[in-house]
Structure 1
Amino acid sequence: MSIPIGVGIVIQSLYLLIDLFFVSRLGADAIAGVSSAATAALLTGMLGQLLGIGAVSLIGQALGAGKYARARTILIHAGLMAIACSVCVVVAGYMGGGRVMSGFASGEVAQGMGESYLYGYIPGLALQIVITVATFGLRAAGEPYGPLVAQCICVPINLVLAPLLIFGVPGISGLGTLGAGMATTLATSVAAAIILYRAVDRYRHLARARITFRWQSVIARRVISVGLPAGLETLVIYVYTCLMYWAAAKLGAQVQAAVGIGLMLIQALFIPSLSVVYGCVPVAAFYFGANEVGKVKEVYAVSLVLVISITLCLTVGCFLWGNAMVSFFSNDSHVKRMAAYFLVCISLNFVTSGLTHINGSILQASGRTIWSLLAIFTRLAVFIIPLLFLVSVNKVTLQWLCVLSNFAFLSQAIVSGYAVSLVIKRFMQIAPKSVAAASMEFDSLLMNKEGRGS
């Protein structure tokens, strides 16, 4: 599960990089404008995460319990809510949302180019919500390869269309940043068609019986109640990152650049760990639904071993090759020195961060996502309260940023770990005898066997 998910994350990140690569030929204002789309992508990503995490948890539990028709019903509800959210994004985007989002760019020219880019990209952003829900639904059914195939097909499409629509062809003028947004939207549309087809086909095989669909508000509320804390968690992470940049700005442009380089590298380095986390959720949810507490513990233990091994290697790598990593992003010796220092210090919390992610995946699988939200609010409080005090007395330094960050991650790991122990203990007390579906194991989904449950 984790390998195709990790490769897919890498490939999907190429969309914005491709746009930035070609748009950079239009000047610094174009780069600033297109970069402003990151805020819009964050908001739509939150909606996708909200519905997707709610769906993968409930679908996985339904499949583990042998209730295949119910799993399909949950996916349909999540899909319809995703479509509704996508329509709202398109309407809001063209009614002024694009202008608001582009306002994060610096200068009127950059804002105009950012608005133009978003007008071409808004449909693609909206489709990302549907893609996320369908992708999570496929993962719950043991199918991580469909989204990967779609991304492998569509990134080359974006790579071909972007320069044609941005710069034009002989006799036809280019559309500039608008063309970049349109290229990504067209490629995303192809990806959405492929992933949706695969999801429909997958669930048609899991539950052959015809289903008479009717809207059930209780399912919609359950999807939202499980997914909402996860969506808010994404927002809190964004606030945490913004606070880090804000505090670094007090130390000068060079330190802020160093922190930016360090955070960008950390995001890239953590892709293998995150892929294990994403792969853990559907497997653990399956065994929660099957009332197999022992299997849940095995999934948790194996995931912990994998993530700790990965994060330990990353920490050692940062200590040994941190200077070489940051040298690719700056020629300024002071920036490189500060970035290497920041990367090494933050790498000390890689293991605790990995523990937090795995704890969060188990909580998502169980449907108790409110605990994950509580854990990340603890991390934010441990970081922000001392930080605001240090800023008020003008004592903030890069060293203090690193120390506070490490303590904040440690507090989150402690709270989330305690929450997992409570959830598993509670589950052991109330779980009835294992259902028959558990005997077939999660691997049966990977082998494409037809479900026979109700």
Structure 2
Amino acid sequence: MKDLTQGSIPKHLIAMAIPMMVGMFVQTLYFLVDLYFVGKLGGAALAGLSLAGNAMFLIFALTQILNVGTAAAISHAVGRKDKIDANLIFNQSMMASSIVGIIVCIAGYFGASSYLNMVSQDLDTVGAGLSYLNWFIPCMALQFVMVSISAALRGTGVVKPTMLVQMISIIINIILSPILIEGWGTGYAMGIAGAGFASSISVVCAVIILCFYFKKSEKYISVDFSLWRPNTASLKKISSIGLPAGGEFFLMFIYMGMIYWLIQRFGADAQAGFGLGSRIMQSLFLPAMALAFAAPAVAGQNFGAEKFIRVRETFKWSAILTCSLMLILTLVCLYQAEFLVKGFVDEPEVVLISAVFLQMICWNFIPSGLVFTCSGMFQSLGNTWPALISTGTRLISFAVPALWLSQQSDFTIENLWHLSVITVCIQAAVSFYLLRREFRLRLPKEGEGNEIDLEAEKVNIMT
């Protein structure tokens, strides 16, 4: 357990974010390797991977309930020095993750075909997506246990072990991808199915290593099957914080699915181009997200310890660092979009669509950085409903105009990218307003309550 209620806040954020950034850099490398080999299989395979990959937003919605709820509840318990409650929450989270993982595995195999046929009219694309999902669904199911363990450790201020495990998992995936997709060294090429199989094998390895680490090393929280009996109060605590955060990703699943549905009239190349551009964008976001993900643990412990000035300072530094990184990424996409894209696919139309997407969508990177930061702060305060409201605002402000535009004779795919930039700016403004409101409601003004001396804290922050 690491005490984040003392010392420099920027140093805590950076110290926690660096191992996350390293892990996410390796994850970015995995995304790029996966895109490279699948891209060589053609536009239909790339579109199928993109459509199947969008299903991960639905999994993210479910895992985020456990992720955010577990991390926030445990960080509050750690701030109160309540080890018993921290262990109870962790074990309840593990119990829930095991049950949900089994349900997802069953539902995935029965519902994959229906989902793919709904968002694409191209038979080759649907076939490729189904081949991928049949081997990728075990990876989806195992995400729940891995997320519960990682969130629990993050709530106690420990991030390095999970980042190391994640890196090992991704390296395994990177090694297996060319072997299974193209048959390197075996002579048996599985095609796009190999990409899904590589991911599932790597996650199995990650779960085994994490369980071994917990058994041998972790002392503050531990697996205790006697605590797996459903505890209504603990499950309610996890879900009340996590459900709105999960709702955010569910709305993103709807948002991405809607775009795929709207652009299917432009063919498989359009879906492949959007999918490629989206994956590259998500890869670029990972370092900035690492900073935003570090904030809930830092702010959460200080909120639990009633050190409210440090909560506000955590937001300030997280926003500055995250948005600065997003500015750099904006400039990269503006001037090097084609360079980022053309190494992954040989089809000129797909390259063009992806490059244009990145050049236009990058204008929402800085507002997205602010959204990430605000979302992290909502988690730390134990109220993630404002983040869900913010995401809902974006979905509604996008969906209604997008459906109207799609009915016009001069509708183009670029109309959607312009609309997306506008709606993310609206979301950022709503998020910032709601966070300021939460601060007024939940954090006493400086000098009130149990707050520490402001001048002493300034000295702490600088040192």
* TM range, smaller chain: 0.7 to 0.9
Q: Distance in 1 between matches of 2:225 and 2:184?
A: 50
Q: Distance in 2 between matches of 1:221 and 1:72?
A: 15
What is residue 192 of structure 1 aligned with on the other side?
207
The TM-score, its normalising length taken from structure 2, stands at 0.79
Q: Which residues in structure 2 correspond to 1:148-297 (within 5 Å)? A: 148-159=163-174, 181-199=196-214, 204-206=218-220, 213=227, 215-248=230-263, 259-297=274-312
Displacement of 1:168 after TM fit?
Answer: 7.8
What is residue 382 of structure 1 aligned with on the other side?
397
Q: Distance in 1 between matches of 2:41 and 2:349?
A: 30
What is residue 417 of structure 1 aligned with on the other side?
432
Displacement of 1:80 after TM fit?
Answer: 0.8
What is residue 313 of structure 1 aligned with on the other side?
328
Change (3 A) 1:105 1:351: closer
Aligned-pair identity (%): 31
Q: Distance in 1 between matches of 2:72 and 2:245?
A: 12
Displacement of 1:51 after TM fit?
Answer: 0.9
Displacement of 1:101 after TM fit?
Answer: 5.4
Change (3 A) 1:337 1:195: same
Counterpart code for 2:219: H
1:83 to 66, 79, 98: 98
- Match of 2:157, SS state, is coil
Change (3 A) 1:429 1:23: closer
- Match of 1:291, SS state, is coil
Q: Distance in 2 between matches of 1:324 and 1:179?
A: 27
Of 238-247 and 121-130, more deviation after overlay is shown by 238-247
Q: Distance in 1 between matches of 2:392 and 2:135?
A: 36
What is residue 449 of structure 1 aligned with on the other side?
none
The alignment's C-alpha RMSD in Å is: 3.9
Change (3 A) 1:146 1:101: farther
Give structure 2 stretches of 5+ with no counterpart.
1-15
Paired residues in the alignment total 435
Task: Check conservation: 2:31, 2:279, Cα contact below 8 A.
Answer: no
Displacement of 1:346 after TM fit?
Answer: 2.4
Q: Distance in 2 between matches of 1:319 and 1:169?
A: 36
Displacement of 1:39 after TM fit?
Answer: 4.3
What is residue 451 of structure 1 aligned with on the other side?
none
Counterpart code for 1:280: A
Displacement of 1:192 after TM fit?
Answer: 0.5
What is residue 447 of structure 1 aligned with on the other side?
none
Counterpart code for 2:450: K
> Deviations for 1:68-92, whole angstroms, at most 9, x for unmatched residues?
2211211111111001111212333
Q: Which residues in structure 2 correspond to 1:269-418 (within 5 Å)? A: 269-329=284-344, 339-397=354-412, 400-418=415-433
Q: Distance in 1 between matches of 2:384 and 2:237?
A: 12
What is residue 450 of structure 2 aligned with on the other side?
433
Change (3 A) 1:71 1:409: same
Q: Distance in 1 between matches of 2:272 and 2:204?
A: 35
- Match of 1:360, SS state, is helix
Q: Distance in 2 between matches of 1:260 and 1:406?
A: 17
- Match of 1:394, SS state, is coil
Change (3 A) 1:125 1:14: farther
Task: Check conservation: 2:45, 2:125, Cα contact below 8 A.
Answer: yes
Change (3 A) 1:102 1:171: same
Change (3 A) 1:211 1:195: closer
Does residue 59 of the first structure (1) align with residue 71 of the second (2)? no
Displacement of 1:114 after TM fit?
Answer: 5.2
Displacement of 1:40 after TM fit?
Answer: 4.2
Q: Distance in 2 between matches of 1:16 and 1:37?
A: 14
Change (3 A) 1:335 1:151: closer
Task: Check conservation: 1:322, 1:344, Cα contact below 8 A.
Answer: yes
Change (3 A) 1:348 1:293: same
Of 365-374 and 341-350, more deviation after overlay is shown by 341-350
- Match of 2:88, SS state, is helix
Q: Distance in 2 between matches of 1:423 and 1:100?
A: 41
Displacement of 1:27 after TM fit?
Answer: 7.8
- Match of 1:349, SS state, is helix
Displacement of 1:389 after TM fit?
Answer: 2.3
Q: Distance in 2 between matches of 1:212 and 1:409?
A: 45
Q: Distance in 2 between matches of 1:344 and 1:398?
A: 14
Of 391-400 and 214-223, more deviation after overlay is shown by 391-400
Task: Check conservation: 2:47, 2:275, Cα contact below 8 A.
Answer: no
Counterpart code for 2:407: S
